[in-house]
Amino acid sequence: MKKLVCLFVLVVALFLPLLTCASEEISVSAKGAALIDGASGRVLFSNNADQMLPMASTTKIMTALLALENAKLTDRVTASANASGVPGTSIYLSVGETLTMEQMLYGLLLRSGNDAAVAIAEHVAGDVPTFVEMMNARAAEMGVDAHFENPHGLDEAGHSASALAMAQMLREAMRNPDFREITGTQKKVIPWVESEFSRVLSNKNRLLRTCEGATGGKTGFTDRAGRCLVFSAEREGMELFGAVLNCPAWFDEAEEMLNYGFEHYHLETALVAGAVACETGVSGGMADKVEAVADRTLAAAVGEDERWSVRYDFGDGVRAPVARGEAIGTATLSIDGQPVASCKLLAKQSVEDRSMMKALKRILMQWLLNFRS
């Protein structure tokens, strides 16, 4: 009997870690959900993350990004009748009213103004259809699963994206410091030309007030899309990006996903931009070796039981001549053998071609001999 009890205890002890790990997995009600690592883009949590779904006003992440990439914050943006008349959430632009692009972007990202979205689109591209073409071209450039039919996110056939695409889109947008500043602002006052009052814009992203380290994001809602939220947060130097589409408990589940990510992963930095990564041989050069530096920081979120490694690849080898700053190879960061991120390796020093130097030396010696004679 004692042997059976001991055997039972041993079996429970062996399988308890597995049971614990399973219970730590989170479940969400969202029809699509994704959480990614900001440093590498690695997916840390997903639930139907690739399913194409309507994304409502989270669309405005792309609208804002294109505005910042193709216009100046000081541009004067005038609202047309088309912009003023668009239905849904607005900042109540009057026909002919003019604000700066910066003020329009605050109206777009904090108040979620559909009128601001159309005014921005018309200013940047001349008309909405051309701007939508720009949106889809930028999505293709990013390599994300998204298709746009308008700049504001109101329900329209074919207007959809995956949760993973929206998280990736926010990650890309947050590389722009102006976007990061605007989306992370909780309250902003902008002019209201035809009123004795100013427009007081409060950010609809509640996570900025309730979630530790929240950095930005965008809310969205339509009857067809349900509640949508794209979000980000940074803790101890690691930033995570996520999205929940058609999610009744949008803020609660977003925060639960972030907490899961921060509790189970930590940031590992393999290479620092500009720092020497390794040394490699050079054939046919005045020097036998050259130092290689990373063109950008190579880092990723790594789980507690995961192992990471870096592999350097110089193709068929480095041959002189080599110019300082020339790309001579790549470094790939892998986790448990799976590649998650890579960067270019640049030559830290120039290496002259040995044969060329010998030829120059011969020419110089001949010139000296001729000069003496």
pLDDT tens digits, one per residue of 178-210? 999 999 999 999 999 878 899 999 999 999 999
User: Catalytic annotation on 334?
Assistant: no
CATH number attached to the domain at 28-264: 3.40.710.10
First to last CA, the chain: 109
57 is catalytic: yes
Domain ranges of the chain: 28-264, 272-353
pLDDT of the residue at 195: 84
Q: Which two tokens stand for residue 57?
A: 């006003």
Q: What is the dihedral of CA 193, 198, 203, 209, to 10 degrees?
A: 160
DSSP state of 65: H
What is the per-residue pLDDT for 201?
97
Contact 265, 301 (CB under 8 A): yes
pLDDT in the model for residue 310: 97
Residue type, 283: S
Indicate the SS3 state at residue 198: coil
Q: Which of 258, 250, 260 is nearest to 234 (CA)?
A: 258
Residue 40 token pair: 């590498």
For 310, phi and psi rounded to 5 degrees? -125, 135
The per-residue pLDDT for 43 is 98
Task: Give the Cα separation of 284 and 40 in Å (integer).
Answer: 36
* β-strand partners of 345: 294, 329
Burial label for 4, CB within 10 Å (0-12, 13-18, 19+), is exposed
The count of residues in the chain is 373
8 Å CB contact between 65 and 142: no
Q: Are strands 76-78 and 98-100 parallel, antiparallel or unpaired?
A: antiparallel
Per CATH, 28-264 and 272-353 having the same topology is answered: no
Distance CA 12, CA 22 (A): 15
Single out the catalytic residue among 40, 80, 112, 160: 112
Asked if 230 and 167 touch (Cβ cutoff 8 Å), the reply is yes
Residue 72: DSSP 8-state: -
pLDDT in tens, 206-225: 999 999 999 999 999 999 99
Give the active site residue among 31, 40, 46, 57: 57
Q: Which two tokens stand for residue 276?
A: 């020497």
370 vs 372: CA distance, rounded Å: 6
Per-residue confidence (pLDDT) for residue 367, from 0 to 100: 64
Residue with tokens 């900042």: 91
In Å, how far from its chain's centre is CA 105? 19
**Residue among 102, 100, 122 nearest 110 (CA):** 102
Q: Which listed residue (31, 60, 188, 204) is catalytic?
A: 60
- Active site annotation includes 31: no
In this prediction, the residues of the chain whose per-residue pLDDT falls under 50 are 1-23
pTM for the full model? 0.88
CA atoms within 13 A on the CB side of 69: 16
- Give Cβ neighbours of residue 60 (< 8 Å, ≥ 6 apart): 108, 109, 112, 117, 151, 152, 153, 218, 220
Please give the pLDDT value at position 14.
36
> CA nearest 90: which of 66, 57, 122?
57
DSSP string, 285-303: BSSSEEEEEESS-EEEEEE
Topology of 272-353 in CATH?
Peptidoglycan synthesis regulatory factor (PBP3), Domain 2 (2.60.410)
